[in-house]
A = this chain, B = another copy of it.
Amino acid sequence: MATIVEIDDPADPRLADYRDLRDVELRKHLEADHGLFLAEGEKVVRRAVAAGFRPRSFLMAPRWLDGLATELSASDAPCFVLSEALIEQVTGFHVHRGALASLERLPLPSVESVVEGARSVLVLEDLVDHTNVGAVFRSGAAMGFDAVLLAPRCADPLYRRSIKVGMGAVFTMPWTRLPSWPDALTSLADLGFTTVALTLAPDAVPIEDAVAGLDRVALVLGSEGHGLSARWESTAARRAIIPMAAGIDSLNVAAASAVACYVTARR
């Protein structure tokens, strides 16, 4: 059973995991240094715990204790209980969904283990926006994709905003980081995947044709601003485009990934 710890000083050092949640740069360092991530909201906390992540601590206003009784009783982590006003002071914003938890990250699995048995995987190059990363995980999960692989510089799927937008898909979808960027796509080819890069390259074919009849597919998406790197564009086995109306140059990466996953799932 979690130990209930009532706190009335927002400067209490035991609250360090929960400070300044809107300060993205600070949070990135803090979470990497301590190997933690934050789950926000009763439903998300529940999903994180159910997915096997170990809580370091919980933080909530008194009225959220009952909703998370099962998770609290199964944990030996402290549960810090504060007024909503104090929570706002610590975190820097009004926590609508009341409950927060700080959880330990797990060691990242190998690429080989993540793609074992997978037929459809997503490969994200350098997405910078956590909202987009979460949206891609959610769409991939909805379309029955088996795994997600991230380039070394892609934004973090366990960042609070990614988790929220992803509706917990980042907990259930197997994923990992690619250990090396330059030869990532050729390594995937060695594992039996046809890499299909979404791009506006002149030799790109409609996505429906690009994936037709393929067995193992790795769908490759580039960053929001500049799309795929030249390296990945040229080392992908196929280049594909989502056909668009004349005069329109691109779709948002979250919309593009939803369409591409839908089409690929039906190949």
Contacts and interface: CB of A to CB of B under 8 A. Distances in A.
A237 interface: no
Contact of A248 (B141, B250, B254, B262): B141
Given A141-B245, A142-B244, A142-B250, 15 more contacts: A138-B251, A139-B251, A139-B252, A139-B255, A141-B248, A142-B251, A242-B262, A254-B255, A254-B258, A255-B255, A255-B258, A256-B258, A258-B258, A259-B262, A262-B262
A135 interface: yes
Copies of this chain, tallied across the complex: 2
Contacts of A248: 141-142
A98 interface: no
Interface string A239-253: 000101100101110
Interface residues of A, number: 23
Interface string A119-143: 0000000000000000100110111
Interface of A: 135, 138-139, 141-144, 165, 242, 244-245, 248, 250-252, 254-259, 262-263
20 contacts: A135-B254, A135-B255, A138-B255, A139-B251, A139-B252, A139-B255, A141-B245, A142-B242, A142-B251, A143-B244, A144-B244, A144-B245, A165-B252, A252-B254, A255-B255, A255-B258, A256-B258, A258-B258, A259-B259, A262-B262
Contacts of A143: 244-245
A251 B251 CA distance: 17
Q: What 10 A-B pairs come out closest when comparing CB atoms?
A: A255-B258, A144-B245, A142-B248, A142-B244, A259-B262, A139-B255, A258-B258, A142-B251, A258-B259, A259-B259
Contacts of A138: 251-252, 255
A251 B255 contact: no
A257 B256 CA distance: 11
A187 to B, nearest CB: 27
Contacts of A255: 135, 138-139, 142, 254-255, 257-258
Residue with the highest number of chain B CB atoms closer than 10 Å, among A141, A142, A250:
A142
Contacts of A144: 244-245
